[in-house]
Structures are given as C-alpha cells and as structure tokens.
Structure 1
Amino acid sequence: MASSDNPEVLERGVKDKEDEKDEQKGGFLDKVKDFIQDIGEKIEETIGFGKPTADVTEIHLPHINLEKADIVVDILVTNPNPIPIPLIDINYSIESDGRKLVSGLIPDAGTIHAHGSETVKIPLCLIYDDIKATYDDIKPGSIIPYKIKVDLIVDVPVFGRITIPLEKTGEIPIPYKPDVDIDKIHFEKFSFEETVANLHVKLENKNDFDMKLNDLDYELWLCGVSIGGAELTQSAKIEKNGISYIDIPITFRPKDCGSALWDMIRGKGTGYTMKGNIHVETPFGVMKLPIIKEGGTTTLKKKKEDGGDDDDDEE
C-alpha cells in the first residue's frame, strides 16, 4: 500500500513547483511592466512629452452668394512637446439636423512646431444646388442650423497616433435673390438732349435675415435703349421678408429712345430692363446678390411742385 502512495506524493510535489514557477514568472512580468511604465513616466516627465490640444476658435464665411458658401474653420492646435509633431490627417463633415451636407479628408495637413501653438485653417465649401437636390425641404431664403465635426489625427512620440475630435455649431443662410421693380421715374430736368431723373426703386428681400444695402452696380434699358447706370447715393436697410424703396439718380438722352419718347412724354407706361448686383451686409457677412428685372413697365413723371401730377407721399 505504501508503494502505491509514492506516485501521488510525487505528483503533488511537481504541481506545487509549477505553481510556484508561474507565480514567480507572473511576479517578474508585473515587476518588468511596472519598471517599464515607471521609466516611461520618468522619460515623459524629463523630456516633456504630452498630448496636444485643439480648439475651434472661429468660423469665417469669406464668400457667399446664390451658388455656394465658402467656409473657413480656424483651429488652434497646441503642441507641448519638445519636437514637432505631424498632423497626419484631418477628417471633416458638416451636417444639419443630423443630415450630412458635405464631408472630406485633408491628408498630410502639415506639422505643428515644438512647444508652440498654430492656427490650422480648414477650407470647406457648401454647394447649394447639391444640398437642395438632396434635401428638397431646404428652401432658398431660409436659415439652417449646422454642426461642423473635425477629427485631427496627430502622431506623438510615446503616445502614438491620437485623434482629437472637435465640434462647432451655428447657423448658415441659403440666400435668395431679391425682387426689384422701378416703381416710377421722377425727372428733375427734362430736355431732348439730357434728362436728369431719379429712379424710385422697390427692393423686396425674400430672405429670413435683414440686409443693409451699401452699393449696387447695374445697367438700365429704357425702351430697349441702354442708358447705363449710376452710383447709389444712400444706404438702406431691408428687413427680412420686407420691402424697401430707394432713389437712384440717372442721366439719359430721351431723343435716343426713338418713337417711345412720345409715350414717355404723355406719361404712358415705359418699358424697361434692369440687371446688376446689390452689395449688402448681413449677419453672416457681406454678400453680392443679383438683381434682374426684364419686361418691366414704369412711368416717367414730374413732381407736383414742378407742375406734374405725381405725389411722393403715395407710399
């Protein structure tokens, strides 16, 4: 019976030794890991490696018209490390109410200098036709919310590749061209050779935002004859979804109008076409919007004080 017990004693002894070796091995590995981590932390503290930080500081709309909006996102990136770090990729997207409007990737976006901060500019572009083709409920003249998402991917020693996610929200307009009409023409000085007059122009703002009219460039045709254009002598505020009237001085030669001159003299309707652009300030920046009116009809009148039958107080 004693001889049959020996294998059991031997078997238990081998197992105990194996467990002891595993414990020693595990303890050794843990010590190695702790040592490496401790050395890494000391190297990091000594050399000064750290994770970079970033923040969206500003969003510009340098150019916006009826076709597109150019957007520039300024991101301030701070590198606390003693060596430059590469900005590997920039992923970006713009969405509105959870719907993606545009997205893209900027590879090899540059290098951030050691112990420094730099502003990285990310140019984006919204093409309105693409947006309206995809989301037909987004109407011209409206203002839509947006969320810009940016992922900066950098490569930092000790840490490796790091992704820095950023977000910024705001609003952006979908501009709509204003309606223009020449309500009437007051002439100050009338002769066949030269007539000095004022165009009484009606501008209707069909946008959900106010506009301040600063300037306009245009060409005007009366009775099919181009009489050129003139400079705006006054600014005007056009409230959102509102109407404003402005006076524009012009000088032209009625004799160039041919047979239509007699209709003008009799006070009958005078055909006109007006094409050009208005330059306005908006809450979203400066815009240049087209004005087009073809096949319009207006009247040429004297003021009451000059013997005419027109009254400026009609409006």
Structure 2
Amino acid sequence: MSQLLNKAKNFVSEKVNEMAKPEASVSDVDFKRVSKDSMEYLVKVAVRNPYSTPIPICEIRYSFKSASREIASGTIPDPGSLKSKDTTMVDVPVKVPYSILMSLARDIGADWDIDYQLDIRLIIDLPVIGNFTIPLSHSGEIKLPTLSTMFA
C-alpha cells in the first residue's frame, strides 16, 4: 500500500513540476518623487499568467541593495491579482531615505548614479498548489534626480 501511495505522490509531483507557472521580469526602475525625508523610485514588474483564471497576489517583498548594503526593503500586502492569460504590470514603490544616500556618496561619485541590486519575491496563490513564490533579481544603475527633474 505504501508503494502505491509513493507512486501516486511522485506522479502528482511530476505533473505539478511540468505545469506552466507564472513568470515575472523587471521592466523598468525609474525615479518617482522626492519627499522631505526620502526619494521614491517606482519598479515596474511584468508578470505573465498562463492560466485562464485570475490569480491573486498575496504579497510582494523587496530588498534594494547598493554597495553590498541593504538601503531599502519592504512588504506590499495584497497588491491585487494577475489577469488571466495576460501580462499584468505590477508597481513596486521603493523609498530610499536620504541618510542612506549620504552614506553611499563614494559610490555616487562623479557619475551621479547608484549601482543597485534589487531582489523581489512575488507570492501568489495558485489553486490546488497553494502559495507559490516567484523570485526576481535585477541589477543596474539609477541616475539620481537633478533639480530640473525634481521640479519638472
């Protein structure tokens, strides 16, 4: 009896692994606004849902690093759901405090940008399977805003 149960578990496991799963990619990281204590960037994530039913996103967790230091992190609870058989754009706002930017002055240097590593975890609720995490990692550089971009 236990052999039959193990075979059934293996069969179900193989079928789940072969199923198409949602995929995500970072499409843009851009300056959004300046406040009295921080700068806010907007990360646009494209998430493709291969299923014919909408899928709820349970939460988004992010970590924004520069010079091997975490400069911002956060969680966005219940940001909506993914459209069925379509690509959904999900906005992830990232706030970077000025105090941390000042400590990165050496990296900013003459080119007025921040080299960054962005790690995002989208946790979605797949029917039958349960919570499924889509890990994303993206690196690049962000230009710091100038006076003309802040007041344009």
Coarse TM-score class (shorter-chain normalised) = 0.7 to 0.9
Q: Secondary structure of 1:151's match?
A: strand
Aligned equivalents of 2:83, 2:145: Cα separation in 1 = 40
Aligned equivalents of 2:101, 2:138: Cα separation in 1 = 20
Relative to its length, the structure with more strand (as a share) is: 2
Report the equivalent of 1:60.
30
Larger Rg over CA atoms? 1
Which among 154, 164, 181 is matched to residue 134 of structure 2?
A: 164
C-alpha change, 1:174 and 1:120, in structure 2 (3 Å) is: closer
Q: Secondary structure of 1:82's match?
A: coil
- Normalized against structure 1, the TM-score is what? 0.41
Report the equivalent of 1:122.
92
- How far 1:175 sits from its partner (Å)? 5.7
Listed one character per residue, the Cα deviations across residues 15-54 of structure 1 (whole Å, up to 9, x for unaligned) are xxxxxxxxxxxxx322233245546767x6xxx9532111
Report the equivalent of 1:185.
none
- How far 1:146 sits from its partner (Å)? 1.2
- Normalized against structure 2, the TM-score is what? 0.77
Alignment of 1:167-206 (within 5 A): 167-174=137-144
Identity of aligned residues (%): 30
The answer on 1:33 being equivalent to 2:6 is: yes
Q: Secondary structure of 1:31's match?
A: helix
C-alpha change, 1:35 and 1:115, in structure 2 (3 Å) is: same
Q: Secondary structure of 1:129's match?
A: helix
Query: More displaced, 101-110 or 156-165?
Result: 156-165
Letter of the 1:94 counterpart = F
- How far 1:140 sits from its partner (Å)? 7.9
- Which 5+ residue runs of structure 1 have no aligned equivalent? 1-27, 177-277, 280-285, 290-315
Letter of the 1:93 counterpart = S
C-alpha change, 1:172 and 1:57, in structure 2 (3 Å) is: closer
Listed one character per residue, the Cα deviations across residues 255-274 of structure 1 (whole Å, up to 9, x for unaligned) are xxxxxxxxxxxxxxxxxxxx
Letter of the 2:51 counterpart = N
- How far 1:83 sits from its partner (Å)? 2.4
Letter of the 1:100 counterpart = E
Report the equivalent of 1:105.
75
Q: Secondary structure of 2:2's match?
A: helix
Which among 116, 122, 138 is matched to residue 152 of structure 1?
A: 122
Aligned length: 149
- Which 5+ residue runs of structure 2 have no aligned equivalent? none
